[in-house]
Amino acid sequence: MFYRENGQFKTSYAADQAIFPILLDRIAIMAILLVAFLVVPLVATQYVYTGILIPFLILALATIGLNLLTGYCGQVSLGTGAFMAVGAYAAYNLVLRLPGMNLLVAFALAGGISALVGVLFGLPSLRIKGFYLAVATLAAQFFIDWVFIRIKWFTNYATNATAPELLLFGLPLDSAMRRYLVTLAIVVVMALIAKNLVRGATGRAWMAVRDMDIAAEIIGIRLLRTKLIAFAVSSFYCGVAGALWGFMHLGAWEPLTFDVNRSFQVLFMVIIGGVGSILGSFLGAAFIFAVPILINQVPAALGVPISTALSSHLEAMIFGAMIIFFLIVEPHGFARLWQLGKEKLRLWPLPH
Amino acid sequence: MTDKPRISEEVLLKVDSISLSFGGVRALSDVSFDIRKGEIRAIIGPNGAGKSSMLNCINGFYHPQEGRITYKGRERQRMLPYEAARQSIARTFQNIALFKGMSTLDNIMTGRLLKMRRGLFWQALRVGPAAREEIEHRAKVEEIIEFLQIQAVRKMPVGRLPYGLQKRVELGRALAAEPDLLLLDEPMAGMNVEEKEDMCRFILDVNEQFGTTIALIEHDMGVVMDLSDRVVVLEYGRKIADGTPDEVRADQRVIDAYLGVQRVE
C-alpha cells in the first residue's frame, strides 16, 4: 500500500537507470546502511560481531562472487572454496613476505591473484558447459586443496596460517567492532560495484551468454573473453572474501576451512537467495546463517532445549528441504519472491 | 517496387560458387549471387533448399568448403560470427534467439554492445563517461523501441512476451547494431496476417529510412513478391533462378519446383 512506484515518474534516462529507481528503496537502503554503520556499533555484543555479522558479510561477498559467475554468466562453479583459499593464502603470504603492506592493498592483490587462478580454471568453459563445467571446477577445488596442504611454502611450513596483527592506516583492528566496520565497508563498496557491473554492458554480455550463447556470438560477443571476465571478476570477489574470512573472521585457519563444503555452502546461498540477483546474495547468506542460530536459540527460549546433535540434524534437514523446495518451486529464490511481493504490493489493496 | 532510386549498382556482398557439405550431405552446391547496396534481396526455395545454410555461411556460422564470399569489396577468409558482427552484419533467427531472462530494453541494449567503449573499471564505477555512454545508448535504443512500437513492453522479460512481439524485439536487437547488412531468417514465420503486415511495414521502413541492405528468407510468396527488389531461388542446394520478382514468378523451373512437375508417361 505504501510501497509502490505509482506516481514516481521519471523524466530522464538517468533517473530511470538509477541503481534504486524507487524512492522507498532508496530510503530503505539508506536506513539499512545507517543502522549497519552507526546503530549496530552502539548495541552489538562481541558474539553478535564474531558469531553473526562478520561471517555473514563475508559469505555474502563470496555469494555475490559466485552469483556473478553462475547467476549472471551461467557458468556453474563448485570451486568457490578454492578461490577463497587462494585469496586467503595470497593475502597471508603477501603480508608475511612484504611486511608493511597496507591491508587493503594486500586484499586487493589477493583478489587479483585469485582472479588469475580463476581465469586459468575458467579456460575449459569454452568447450564444456553446465554439469561438465561444474565437474571441472570441482577438480580445481580438489587440486587447490591439495596444493595448500602439500606445498608447505604457502603455509610458511606451519599447519595453520595465522593472520598477523591487523593494522589499517596505523589503526589496530584489535576489536571485533573495528573489524566489523572495515568488513562492512569493503562489502558495501564491492556490492555496489557488482551491481554497477551487472546493470552495465558487461552484465548484459554475461546474461546474453547465459541465456543463449549462439545469439550472443551473433551480436558480436566473444564467448571465451566474456566467460573469462566473469571467472576473473567472480574469483576476485571470492578471493577477497577468502582473505577477509582468514584475517577478519578466523585469525588463524587451516586449508580445510576452504574445502568443498564451503563451495557447496556458498552455492546453496546462491540458490536459496536468488540466482542472478545481488540482493538475493545477501538474502541467501542471511538465511543460511540465520537457520542454525534460530535452531539453537528458539527452542531454548521456548523452554525445550534440544541437544546439539539434534539441532545439527535439524539444520541439515531444513537446508535440504529448502533447497529442493526452491529448485522446484522458485528457482530464482528469495529475490524472486521479494520481487513478486513488490508486484503484488503495487496493486494492493485494490487488485484489478 | 522494382526501380527504386536508392538502390545503387554497388555490390555489397558477392557470393561466388559456394559449396557446403556436411559429411555426405550437400547443403549447397555452386551457388553464386550478389546483394547490392540498399536492396531487399529475398532467398526463397522449398524446405531443405539450403536457404538458412546460405545465411549461416554469410555470417560466419558455417564455413563453405569451396567458393568465395566478397563483402564490401574484400574477399574474406574464414570468419567467425562475432567478426561478422564487427563488420556490421546483423541477423535474426528462424526460431527466435532472444535472451529470455532479460527485459526487452536489455535485449535491445545488447545489440549495441559493440559500440560501447568504456572498460570494466569505468563500468564498475559508473560515473562520468561510463554513465554518459550508457545514457547515449539508451537514447538510441529508445528510438528503436519507438520505431517498432514496443514501448509498453520495454521493461518486461522477453520470455513473457507473445510470439509476434518477440520477433519484433529480435529485429530491434539486430537494428540496434546499426548494421550495413541485415539478414532475416523467416521474419514472418508463424504470424497471423495482421502481424505479417506490421512486420512488412517495419522491414520496408528499415530499408527506406536507414538505407539498410536486407537479405531475407521467407516462405510467404505474397510477402516476398511485394517486399523484395530481387529474388534468388534455391532448390536442393542449387540456384535455379535469380531476378526480379516478376522474372522469377514466370520462370518455369521455379514453377516446377514449387508446384511439382507433371510427368507424362
Residue B122: its H or E element: helix B120-125
pLDDT-derived band of residue A101, with 50, 70 and 90 as boundaries?
confident
- pLDDT higher than 80, residue A170: no
- pLDDT higher than 50, residue A113: yes
Would the pTM count as exceeding 0.80? yes
- pLDDT at site B109: 93
Check B110 against A222: CB less than 8 A apart. no
In a domain, A77, yes or no: yes
In a domain, A255, yes or no: yes
Domains of chain B in start order, with CATH, are: 1-88+180-265 (3.40.50.300), 98-178 (no CATH)
- pLDDT at site A350: 72
Q: How far apart are CA B213 and CA B31, in angstroms?
A: 20
In a domain, A3, yes or no: no
Residue of B nearest to A12 (CA): B135
Q: How far apart are CA B36 and CA A209, in angstroms?
A: 33
Share of chain A above pLDDT 90, in %: 47
- pLDDT at site B262: 67
In a domain, A209, yes or no: yes
Which of A210, A220, A233 faces B82 most closely, judged by CB atoms? A220
In a domain, A5, yes or no: no
Residue of B nearest to A275 (CA): B101
Residue of B nearest to A232 (CA): B120
Stretches in chain B below the pLDDT threshold 50:
1-3
State pLDDT tens for residues A298-334.
Answer: 887 887 777 888 888 888 888 888 888 888 888 888 8
In a domain, A68, yes or no: yes
Domain hosting residue A320, numbered range: 22-32+44-347
State pLDDT tens for residues A243-273.
Answer: 999 999 998 888 889 999 999 999 999 998 9
State pLDDT tens for residues B186-241.
Answer: 998 888 889 899 999 999 999 998 889 999 998 888 888 889 999 999 988 899 98
- pLDDT higher than 90, residue A162: no
Contact of B85 with chain A, judged by CB distance below 8 Å, is answered with: yes
Contact of B163 with chain A, judged by CB distance below 8 Å, is answered with: no
Give B39 to chain A, closest Cα distance, Å: 22
In a domain, A6, yes or no: no
Residues 166-225 of B with CB under 8 A from A: 173-174, 177
Which of B80, B124, B138 faces A193 most closely, judged by CB atoms? B124
State pLDDT tens for residues A1-36.
Answer: 566 666 777 888 888 888 887 888 888 899 999 999
A111-125, A289-303, B113-127 — most confident range: A111-125
Provide the CATH number for the domain around residue A235.
Answer: 1.10.3470
Residue of A nearest to B127 (CA): A196
User: Which of B83, B120, B144 should be substituted to probe chain A, the one whose Cβ sees the most A Cβ atoms within 10 Å?
Assistant: B120
Q: Provide, as residue numbers in chain A, all residues whose Cβ is less than 8 Å from the Cβ of B135.
A: 13-14, 17
Residue of A nearest to B102 (CA): A207
In a domain, A2, yes or no: no
- pLDDT at site A351: 67
Q: What is the ipTM of this complex?
A: 0.88
- pLDDT at site A2: 61
Contact of A212 with chain B, judged by CB distance below 8 Å, is answered with: yes
| Interval A197-205 mean pLDDT | 92
Q: Provide, as residue numbers in chain A, all residues whose Cβ is less than 8 Å from the Cβ of B178.
A: none
| Interval A140-150 mean pLDDT | 91
Q: How many domains would you assign to chain A? A: 1
